[in-house]
Structure 1
Amino acid sequence: MQFIQTCLKDSLVPGSFVVADYMVFALMLVVSAAVGVYFAWTDRDQRSSGDFLMGGRRLTALPVSLSLTASFMSAITVLSNPAEVYRYGANIGFYGISYVLTMVITSEVFLPVFYRLSITSTYEYLELRFNRTTRLLGTGLFIVQTILYTGIVIYAPALALNQVTGMDLWGAVISTGVVCTFYCTLGGLKAVVWTDVFQLGVMLAGFLSVIIRSVVLKDGVLPIISDSQEGGRLNFWDFDTNPLRRHTFWTISIGGTFVWVSIYGINQAQVQRYISCKSITHARLSLYINLLGLLSILLCSVFAGMCLFSVYKDCDPWTAGQVSAPDQLMPYLVMDILRDYPGLPGLFVAAAYSGSLSTVSSSINALAAVTVEDLIKPYTNMSEKHLSWTSKGLSLIYGVLCIGMAGLASLMGGILQAAISIFGIIGGPLLGMFTLGVLCPFANSKGVLLGLMSGLVVSLWLGIGAQIYPPTPAMTRPLSLTTEGCNFTTTDSFNWTSTVQPTQPTSFTTAPVNRTDDNWYSLSYLYFSPIGTIITISVGLLVSLFTGGWKVTVESRLTLTKEDTTLYHLVKFFKDTKGQLDLTRDRERFDGTNPGFCDVELDLTKRNIPA
């Protein structure tokens, strides 16, 4: 209660949080912590690091799929996607195409290899396929980028929500960081997965509360769609192939696919979840069920952005100086339209922080996993019991580091955007590195290392150049906003009645004001990842060929084989049966070489399902 009173006393924003809102937010934290306590108690006899970090590899498809979706969503996404639609239009809906392609590529290319090897750390694969140097390099890049990004994920939404809702900034940062570290340290991967399931429900509920209230205010869905159409927000038919354009069908669908494959295909935080499933079929199902979750969240965030524009189409709060950054638009809308419903603003804030918790918990667990598997286990002879306690200690240490990084992020100012860009830039070269290992049997360690360094240099060069020479409005094409309908009359209402005079939005670029030219530094940020991947693969292949890569013999278990793919078995099935469905004969011919299908047969047998 003392925390609540302090937050209310320090609040400077009219219509800020009330006790009911803080109670909803606190309930979310309490439930998340309780899940950690529950799994710490039920798994109190676990004696191995594998049980703690991988859930004993006994997880099923549904909770893992929901955890994958929640881990993908951060508070930055919850706040930024609607603001993106508000400023640039709904063409980010094309991300749905990249999600579909990502799940297919991950399921058919990377999952079979990682699952077959039963690895804990994704980077363990690099040593099996190449050498220890590649493994340590990959691990180091992952640890640095994850700690940096996690700190930003904690701080950035807290700052946006603090400035709009009046919620105590550091109280929220520290409380979410401590609770997240608490249940990660106690419950391990199981706690992370099941809290993600709960937090995903909170995120959807927060979005729906805003959407439903907006629909009521605008007398239906059709007026919102009509307003968005008239305001140019339904810009789905932009097929411009110019790579300098920030968002088009091609940049989002192609560039987005590379970005998300680098997350789902090779990133430890995601891979660790689906290879913890009890069978490869459950792992594949978790990816495709997760796809439904991603599309649902995308649809909600895009429509929430359309609601945001419809409500404020005649009086833009950003141009009017009511908010200082676009990420504050959604919290402002919430405090405006839901201020008469105590608890609902708290629900939305709980949704935003649930995004932070799910991302941070996934990162902490993944950081502990790679540290134990890549930096401790190969160089010590610790018992499994000691490794389990070490894993818990590392979860605590990384949690504290992430909270500390949030404090450092508060001092970074304009570097935040650059740091987030660098996080994506590093993923492209790493994706190229793993792709060489999985798909190119003649790739060797020399080629991979030189390819990775070349990809990092080029992608970082482009990324840093883009910060110095950002694209012009002609390439980003922000849509028009107006303050003509604002009524600046009183000082006590959120509904655009402040005595503050309208001002122009502050500039977020460092480019010369009068610059009108575009160059390759203005390349769409979504192309940084594919360029890094392509450079890494190209250089890696050339160097491997010139250094005797064709003479290298690689174990078949370390590369993708045709028998690993679903397509191979579908073609084989129809070829053998000549289009006639005969499950009995198919079962007799099945030799079980592909673990992705043999467990289906076992499940059918156990359930006594007739052929």
Structure 2
Amino acid sequence: MHLQGVSVTGYQVHLIIIIISAICTFYTAVGGLKTVIWTDFFQMGIIFLSLIAVLIFGFAASENVWNTILAGERLDIFDFSLNPTKRDTFWTFVIGFTTPWIYYASLTQSGVQKYLTLPTLKDCNNAVKIFVLVLDSILIICCLLGFLIYSHYANCDPLLNGKIQKHEQLLPYYIMEIAGNVPGVFSLTLTGLFCASLSTISSSLNSISGVIYKDFVTKFIKSEISEKTAGYILRIIVIIAGILFLSISFIIELLGDMLPLLMSVTAVVDGPSFGLFASGVLIPKMNAKGAFGGAILAGIIQAMIIIISKIYFFNNAIVTIHKPLLIDGCDNQTIWTNSSLISLNNTSHDLTTGSKPFFIFRLSHHYQCLFGAIVMIITGLIISHFTKKDNLPVEKVLFSPVIHRFLSETSTAEKGQELQELMTNHKKKCDDTK
């Protein structure tokens, strides 16, 4: 069964994107944060059920999985290479992959919004623990599914054989083969995939609307805004943001594999933001001008690096070396040409000709967020050094307890009135929501 040009549902992919985006934008605009939280809760349940269902049918349809993945070099987790341009190593996951997830769990606007709906700090800590537990469970299940899928197609890769056109079609194609005749299984799995998309989009739309309203709209409208008017403004922002998301989705599909692209693009904001917050709680010498200037410069530098690296990629100056993929066991060995897949047998060849681009442009996408944070901290410290005469004492409680012993009395101040008012107002809001 071919998936060329048409999605597994029988409808054009672009039509599905428009429908899903419209539904997500509608319920986010009408229901707000409360709707987003409740839909996320139910959608997560569906995602779990769909993953477990695929896992059960996958194990039932597979044999010798462990030996197959070992022979195919899919369990090479002890590659301790320190080369930052190598895509997947032990250190890229332990260091590089950890950085964006720390940011995602603790600093993203969508996450912080949900934390602020909780009444106490203890509840926030419990929410983070549950989040980590659920996320780790999903990642483990996804890794197991990856092993099962590779084992199933070890000798006949459907992408090389022309059965599918993109890597993202592999999971639906696999489910159709192993459980397509079982009523409800494929529909449940497809629903789980849609739920994952809806959950991400709705959280992003709601957080973006809150930021734009609070940081921009309220600054330009000097008069007092009624609650009803604020609701209308937030809905309009959600609708506009939803249309922009829809437009961007048609561009993204032309830019290559989703995971590297997603991690690289989000690092433009995530990296400098992570460095900004880390500086705020760990680096006393970082002042406001340094933090602001460093974040802006890091974002610009990160964006330029990603754009240039994509240009190199499309010109084949940077070539991804994939693990071995075979079609020896296929009945029909018609190979679909894919310039990004350069390894069709048990050996990998670097097709890059001439001198390689500077290593910054070849950096593994797992390190992009960390690189952005480092650039922000370095540039921020340089700016802070030349503007240190404007430094004011900072309240000690704003720094992490880890560095309290290193703080001098001249650089810190006692808890001030401004911080006390912020803490009091937040406590009052939490009491009002009970």
Provide the rounded CA distance (Å) in 2 between the counterparts of 1:449 and 1:163. 44
Provide the rounded CA distance (Å) in 1 between the counterparts of 2:264 and 2:147. 26
Say if 1:274 and 1:451 are closer, same or farther in 2 by CA, change over 3 A.
Answer: same
Number of residue pairs aligned between Structure 1 and Structure 2: 393
In the TM superposition, residue 444 of structure 1 has moved relative to its aligned partner by 2.2
SS at match of 2:274: helix
Say if 1:409 and 1:480 are closer, same or farther in 2 by CA, change over 3 A.
Answer: closer
Which amino acid in 1 is paired with 2:239?
A: L
2:415 aligns to what?
none
In the TM superposition, residue 394 of structure 1 has moved relative to its aligned partner by 2.5
Provide the rounded CA distance (Å) in 2 between the counterparts of 1:361 and 1:279. 25
2:381 aligns to what?
541
Give the counterpart of 2:399 among 544, 548, 560.
560
In the TM superposition, residue 294 of structure 1 has moved relative to its aligned partner by 0.8
2:190 aligns to what?
349
Say if 1:171 and 1:324 are closer, same or farther in 2 by CA, change over 3 A.
Answer: closer
1:22-101 counterparts in 2 under 5 A?
none
Provide the rounded CA distance (Å) in 2 between the counterparts of 1:263 and 1:190. 20
Say if 1:336 and 1:549 are closer, same or farther in 2 by CA, change over 3 A.
Answer: farther
Give the counterpart of 2:24 among 174, 180, 184.
180
1:527 aligns to what?
367
2:338 aligns to what?
505
CA-to-aligned-CA distance 1:45-88 (integer Å, 9 cap, x gap): xxxxxxxxxxxxxxxxxxxxxxxxxxxxxxxxxxxxxxxxxxxx
SS at match of 1:398: helix
2:237 aligns to what?
394
Which structure has more RCO (C-alpha within 8 Å, separation ≥ 6)? 1
Give the counterpart of 1:450 among 290, 293, 312.
293
Structure (1 or 2) with the greater helix fraction: 1
Which amino acid in 1 is paired with 2:203?
A: S
The question of 1:359 aligning with 2:196 is answered no
The question of 1:384 aligning with 2:227 is answered yes
The question of 1:214 aligning with 2:58 is answered yes
1:192 aligns to what?
36
Which amino acid in 2 is paired with 1:459?
A: Q
1:557-596 counterparts in 2 under 5 A?
559-562=398-401
Give the counterpart of 2:326 among 482, 496, 501.
482
CA contact (8 A) 2:299 2:372 kept: yes
1:515 aligns to what?
353
SS at match of 1:193: helix
Provide the rounded CA distance (Å) in 1 between the counterparts of 2:272 and 2:143. 30
Which amino acid in 2 is paired with 1:433?
A: L
RMSD over aligned Cα atoms = 3.2
CA contact (8 A) 2:317 2:352 kept: no
In the TM superposition, residue 278 of structure 1 has moved relative to its aligned partner by 1.3
CA-to-aligned-CA distance 1:215-247 (integer Å, 9 cap, x gap): 11125xxx2222212221111111111112111
CA contact (8 A) 1:319 1:503 kept: yes
In the TM superposition, residue 523 of structure 1 has moved relative to its aligned partner by 1.9
In the TM superposition, residue 339 of structure 1 has moved relative to its aligned partner by 1.5
Provide the rounded CA distance (Å) in 1 between the counterparts of 2:251 and 2:311. 22
TM-score by length of 2: 0.81
1:403-442 counterparts in 2 under 5 A?
403-407=246-250, 409=252, 412=254, 421-442=264-285
1:41-440 counterparts in 2 under 5 A?
162-218=6-62, 223-380=64-221, 381-407=224-250, 409=252, 412=254, 421-440=264-283
CA contact (8 A) 2:294 2:376 kept: yes
Say if 1:413 and 1:541 are closer, same or farther in 2 by CA, change over 3 A.
Answer: closer
Say if 1:406 and 1:459 are closer, same or farther in 2 by CA, change over 3 A.
Answer: closer
CA contact (8 A) 1:192 1:361 kept: yes
Provide the rounded CA distance (Å) in 1 between the counterparts of 2:401 and 2:256. 48
Say if 1:549 and 1:288 are closer, same or farther in 2 by CA, change over 3 A.
Answer: farther
Q: Structure 1: which 5+ residue stretches go unaligned?
A: 1-12, 17-158, 489-499, 566-594, 600-611
In the TM superposition, residue 389 of structure 1 has moved relative to its aligned partner by 3.1
Provide the rounded CA distance (Å) in 1 between the counterparts of 2:396 and 2:138. 38
Say if 1:344 and 1:516 are closer, same or farther in 2 by CA, change over 3 A.
Answer: farther
SS at match of 2:181: coil
Which amino acid in 2 is paired with 1:421?
A: S
Provide the rounded CA distance (Å) in 2 between the counterparts of 1:208 and 1:556. 48
